[in-house]
Structure 1
Amino acid sequence: MGAGTPRRTDGGLGTVCPQAVSEGDRAVAVSPAVRPATSWRIAAVRPLADYRIWVRFNDGREGVVDMADLVNSPEAGLFSSLTDTALFDRAFLLHGAVTWPNGLDLAPDALYDLLKGRTECRLSP
């Protein structure tokens, strides 16, 4: 500060008082729920036997994604956790993407492209 600069403004800033913290995230109460509308976003998912999932996209395209090669591969990395069928069967949708409770997800746009013109595709490492 320069020699002629005042050290405080007239009236001062006063004491900062803590504000009450909201008890919940009010964003979840938005009605209606926000649903991604892009055609390649997934609208429904259903886990199937043998590390396969059925998906339906917002535009009606649907098909089966076979993940057995990926999940059972030595190069599966984090996806190897899905060999636990109890975990695999807990697939759900989050913002239009297939997601698992451990945070793994599948890129819906890539699945959309893989299922173009077919009803089944296979994921590999």
Structure 2
Amino acid sequence: MSTISTRIPSEKDVSILPTLVEPNPQLSGARHVGDYQMWLRFADGREGIVDFSDDLWGEDLKPLQDPSTFAELKFDDAIATLSWERGGIDISPAYLYSKLESVQ
């Protein structure tokens, strides 16, 4: 019979894992640039335009399928990410960062 370790990983353990996404990306700016595209800037200096046209599926994101609603994106300083009042939608900075990395 094998046992499962319940030890919490140390910082050393975690440091040897490959880094897939900036651990805590800080979004510092964003704006709508057309259709389902937005320009993003992060505190580490990364910036660029990402296209979300293939990401707007599912019931939760249905309001954003309307281009005029998508264009209403706001950079929310309180939670340091993008949000839309209509639909109460926000997107995590980690996802936005990974999306930006995929186009660079």
Into which bin does the TM-score normalised by the smaller protein fall?
A: 0.5 to 0.7
Inter-partner Cα distance in structure 2 for 1:85 and 1:113: 23
Structure 1: 4+ residue segments shifted above 6 A: none
| 1:82 to 2:33 alignment | no
Task: Report the Cα offset of residue 113 of structure 1.
Answer: 2.8
Indicate if the aligned counterparts of 1:46 and 1:54 stay in contact, CA closer than 8 A: yes
Matches within 5 A, 1:26-37: none
The answer to which structure has the higher strand fraction is 2
Q: Percent identity?
A: 30
Task: Report the Cα offset of residue 108 of structure 1.
Answer: 0.5
Q: Which residue of 2 aligns with 1:98?
A: 82
Task: Report the Cα offset of residue 81 of structure 1.
Answer: 0.7
Task: Report the Cα offset of residue 39 of structure 1.
Answer: 6.2
TM-score normalised by the chain length of structure 2: 0.63
**1:69-123: CA deviation from partner (whole Å, max 9, x where unpaired):** 122x4xx22212112222211111122111111221111012213333743xxxx
| 1:55 to 2:40 alignment | yes
Query: Unpaired runs of 5+ in structure 2?
Result: 1-22
SS in 2 for 1:77: coil
SS in 2 for 1:105: strand
SS in 1 for 2:101: coil
Inter-partner Cα distance in structure 1 for 2:70 and 2:42: 20
Matches within 5 A, 1:35-50: 40-50=25-35
Indicate if the aligned counterparts of 1:52 and 1:64 stay in contact, CA closer than 8 A: yes
